[in-house]
Amino acid sequence: MESLSEKELVKGLEAQDAPTANSAVREILKRGVVTLPYLLDYENDRRLFSGTALINPNASIMLPMAAPGFPVPESAMDRATTLEVAALYMISAIYFGKVPFANAPLLTDLSVPVGQREARNSKANLRRGFESARKWSRECKERGIEKMREEMRDPLQSGKVGWY
């Protein structure tokens, strides 16, 4: 993976086998902000992510996983890790400097009172997340990741969504 361009590397998230997808996650994290434009291209990509590297082994949450021959039912897609979700999660991982950094790759609406929040990757949460990440990415390019971290400027902050 080290010899791949950033664009080719990010396409590794599309791999159908977990080891390749997981390798892409590790290398994206290592390369950091240079991968942001390519990660942002995954908005609305509802194909399933086959890796396991985004799962927090210390969290007790069950998520539908991609598996050959076992499609995720449409009713469970708002809890599945699609390529869109994986890419947005990686943008946040670059900011935090680690994977995993949250309980699960599930978004929550931070404008809803704490006791009423649902952990789900709804179209609205994802849209707001990508809008915020695009804005953050532009600012990060101008100011640098260290400044964004210093000011605690999370990529999803302006969209009022966060990871579960």
The whole-angstrom separation of Cα 76 and Cα 91 is 24
pLDDT tens for 101-115 read 999 999 999 999 999
Q: What is the pTM of this model?
A: 0.94
pLDDT tens for 113-145 read 999 999 999 999 999 999 999 999 999 999 999
Percentage of residues in the chain with pLDDT exceeding 70? 98
**Average of pLDDT values for 67-89?**
88
The whole-angstrom separation of Cα 118 and Cα 120 is 6
Q: Integer distance in angstroms from the first to the last C-alpha of the chain?
A: 29
Nearest Cα residue to 104 out of 117, 85, 122: 85
DSSP 8-state code for residue 69: T
Nearest Cα residue to 20 out of 55, 50, 56: 50
Asked if 51 contacts 25 with a C-beta cutoff of 8 angstroms, the reply is: yes
